[in-house]
A and B are shown apart, each in its own frame.
Chain A
Amino acid sequence: MSKRIDVDNLNVYYGDFLAVEDVKMGIDARSVTAFIGPSGCGKSTFLRTLNRMHEVIPGARAEGQVLLDGEDLYGPGVDPVVVRSMIGMVFQRPNPFPTMSIRDNVLAGVKLNSKRISRGDADALVESSLQGANLWNEVKDRLDKPGSGLSGGQQQRLCIARAIAVKPDVILMDEPASALDPISTLAIEDLINELKQDYTVVIVTHNMQQASRISDRTAFFNIQGTGKPGKLIEYGPTSEIFSNPKQQQTEDYVSGRFG
Chain B
Amino acid sequence: MFNTASSAPVATPSSGARKARLTSNQRPKWLVPAVGVASIVVGAALSALVGFNVALWAVFAAVLFLVAATLAVSLVEGPRNGADSLVTYLVYTAFVLAVVPLISVIWTVLANGLPGLNANLLLTSMNGVTGATDNAAVAGEAPVLGGAYHAIVGTVSITFWATLMSVPIGLLTAIYLVEYSKGAWLGRSITFFVDVMTGIPSIVAGLFAAALFGLLFGPSTRFGFVAAVALTVLMIPTVVKNTEEMLKIVPNELREASYALGVRKWRTITKVVIPTAISGIASGVTLAIARVIGETAPLLVTAGFATSINWNSFSGWMTTLPTYIYYQILTPTSPTNPDPSLQRAWAAALILIVIVMLLNLIARLVARAFAPKTAGR
Contacts and interface: CB of A to CB of B under 8 A. Distances in A.
A75 interface: no
A146 B261 contact: no
A53 B261 CA distance: 11
Contacts of B257: 91, 95-97, 159, 162
Interface of B: 182-183, 251, 253-264, 267-268, 271-272, 275-276, 372-377
B276 A84 contact: no
A83 B271 CA distance: 20
14 contacts: A56-B255, A89-B260, A96-B257, A98-B276, A98-B374, A108-B258, A109-B263, A113-B262, A113-B267, A148-B374, A149-B374, A149-B376, A150-B377, A162-B261
Interface string A121-153: 000000000000000000000100110111100
B260 A112 contact: no
A49 interface: no
Interface residues of A, number: 36
Interface of A: 51, 53, 56, 58, 81-86, 88-89, 91, 93, 95-99, 108-109, 111-114, 142, 145-146, 148-151, 159, 162-163, 166
A91 B271 contact: no
Contacts of A148: 372-374
A99 B276 contact: yes
A53 B256 contact: yes
Given A56-B255, A112-B271, A151-B377, A98 B372 contact: yes
A151 B275 CA distance: 23
A207 B102 CA distance: 59
Contacts of B372: 98-99, 146, 148
Given A82-B262, A112-B267, A162-B261, A56 B376 contact: no
Contacts of B260: 51, 53, 84, 88-89, 91, 163
Contacts of A51: 260
A116 to B, nearest CB: 15
A18 B120 CA distance: 77
Contact of B263 (A58, A93, A99, A112): A112
A146 B376 contact: yes
Contacts of A166: 261-262
A98 B259 CA distance: 16
A98 B277 CA distance: 10
B251 A84 contact: no
